[in-house]
């Protein structure tokens, strides 16, 4: 009889863990308050941007750098704990001679609404169209971690000059299985980001940069993308870097500069 009680107890604990993971998956995937708490101080030259989505939510962004035509504009999409100010400031530091734009994801203060992969995808096209409406830019879409999926979605649906995927994963479902192997993630996951499908057959010049010691997005989750991207012109694994210390690694900065320089060479005039 005690075996029956033990099995029942284990089953109840398991069901409770699965229920918690299911209930809080949006908060785990989109830690909006963490992102809001880490906003850096921007230079006085920063320009605040504001747009309204087709369904009425407001997105707030930032522009750094002056008009850099004929150099492509850098359109950044951060990781899930990043905010637009941090994305723009980091890219501006790497490329001070380029115009840089980034927007806070929907639901990430001061942007409004509720975050979801579906909303991030839709908003990315609204952002691109907003940038192009002001004037026709050549655009390089740059995605960090979960932002790589957003950048890939833009490249799938809009004419970008280049695409940079930083610590990307093949799909959110596969990544969820990595972190929650004990849960039926395929059945319970409400947010889907199949990056490998987004890049399949796309001729956009693409760079892929992964971190060899990444425990959040293991490099093996990036590997399927290398064979899926038809026009992979820069492919790097920064062997001695992890997910969060990658950005201070000189080899990462060198790979970023190589990618942008290659895009500028192949960009149509």
Residue 13's pLDDT is what?
A: 42
Summarize pLDDT for 37-91 with one digit per residue, the tens. Answer: 888 888 888 999 999 999 999 999 999 987 766 789 999 999 999 999 999 999 9
Can you give the pTM of this predicted structure? 0.89
Residue 137's pLDDT is what?
A: 74
Record: fold of 2-266:
Rossmann fold (3.40.50)
The DSSP bridge pattern shows strands 162-166 and 47-52 to be unpaired
Q: What is the DSSP string of 45-84?
A: T-EEEEEE-TTS-EEEEEEES---TTSPEEEEE--TT--H
Residue 103: partners with Cβ closer than 8 Å, 6 or more residues away: 49, 51, 59, 60, 61, 62, 84, 111, 123, 127
Summarize pLDDT for 250-261 with one digit per residue, the tens. Answer: 999 999 999 999
The rounded radius of gyration (Å) of the Cα atoms in the chain is 19
| Helix, strand and coil percent figures for the chain, each rounded to 5 | 45, 15, 40
């Amino acid at each position: 009889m005690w075996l029956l009680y033990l099995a029942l107890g284990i089953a109840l604990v398991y069901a409770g863990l699965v229920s918690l993971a299911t209930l809080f998956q949006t908060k785990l995937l989109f830690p909006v308050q963490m992102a809001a708490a880490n906003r850096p101080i921007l230079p006085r030259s920063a320009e605040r941007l504001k747009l309204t989505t087709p369904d009425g939510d407001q997105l707030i962004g930032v522009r750094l750098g002056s008009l850099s035509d004929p150099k492509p504009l850098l359109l950044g999409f951060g990781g899930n704990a990043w905010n637009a100010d941090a994305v723009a400031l980091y890219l501006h530091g790497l490329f001070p001679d380029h115009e840089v734009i980034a927007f806070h994801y929907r639901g990430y203060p001061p942007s409004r609404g509720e975050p979801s992969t579906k909303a991030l995808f839709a908003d990315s096209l609204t952002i691109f169209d907003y940038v192009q409406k002001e004037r026709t830019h050549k655009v390089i879409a740059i995605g960090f971690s979960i932002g790589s999926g957003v950048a890939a979605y833009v490249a799938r649906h809009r004419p970008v000059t280049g695409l940079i995927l930083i610590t990307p994963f093949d799909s959110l479902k596969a990544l969820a299985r990595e972190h929650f192997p004990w849960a039926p993630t395929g059945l319970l996951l409400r947010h889907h980001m199949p990056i490998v499908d987004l890049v399949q057959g796309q001729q956009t010049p693409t760079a892929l940069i992964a971190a060899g010691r990444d425990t959040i997005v293991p490099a093996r989750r990036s590997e399927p993308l290398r064979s899926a991207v038809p026009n992979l012109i820069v492919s790097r694994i920064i062997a001695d870097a992890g997910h969060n210390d990658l950005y201070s690694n000189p080899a990462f900065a060198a790979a970023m500069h190589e990618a942008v320089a290659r895009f500028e060479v192949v960009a149509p005039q």
